[in-house]
Amino acid sequence: MADLARAGAPEGSWLRADTQSGGRGRHGRTWLSHAGNLYASTLVLLRPGDPPPATLTLVAAVALDQLVAAYLGTERLRLKWPNDVLVWDAEGGWAKLSGILLEAAGEAVVVGFGVNLAHHPQDIDRPATSLAAAGAAPPDPGLFARDLAAAFADWLAHWRGEGLAVVRRRWLERAHPIGTPLATTGPDGARIEGLFDGLDESGALRLRLADGAVHVMHAGDFDLL
Q: What is the pLDDT of residues 153-170, one digit of tens each?
A: 999 999 999 999 999 999
pLDDT given at position 21: 60
**Helices (DSSP H) in 53-174: which residue ranges?**
56-72, 141-162, 164-174
Question: What number of CA atoms fall less than 13 Å from residue 190's CA on the CB side?
Answer: 3
C-beta separation of 185 from 217 below 8 A: no
pLDDT given at position 32: 55
Q: What contacts 24+ positions apart, CB below 8 Å, involve 166-169?
A: 167/55, 167/58, 167/59, 167/62, 168/55, 168/58, 168/199, 168/201, 168/203
pLDDT given at position 20: 65
If pLDDT is split at 50, 70 and 90, which confidence band does 85 have?
Answer: very high
Q: Tell me what the pLDDT averaged over the chain comes to.
A: 91
Tell me the residue ranges of DSSP E strands in 25-93: 30-33, 38-45, 77-80, 84-88
pTM of the model: 0.92
pLDDT at residue 25 is higher than 60 = no
pLDDT at residue 121 is higher than 70 = yes
**Average pLDDT score over residue span 69-83:** 94
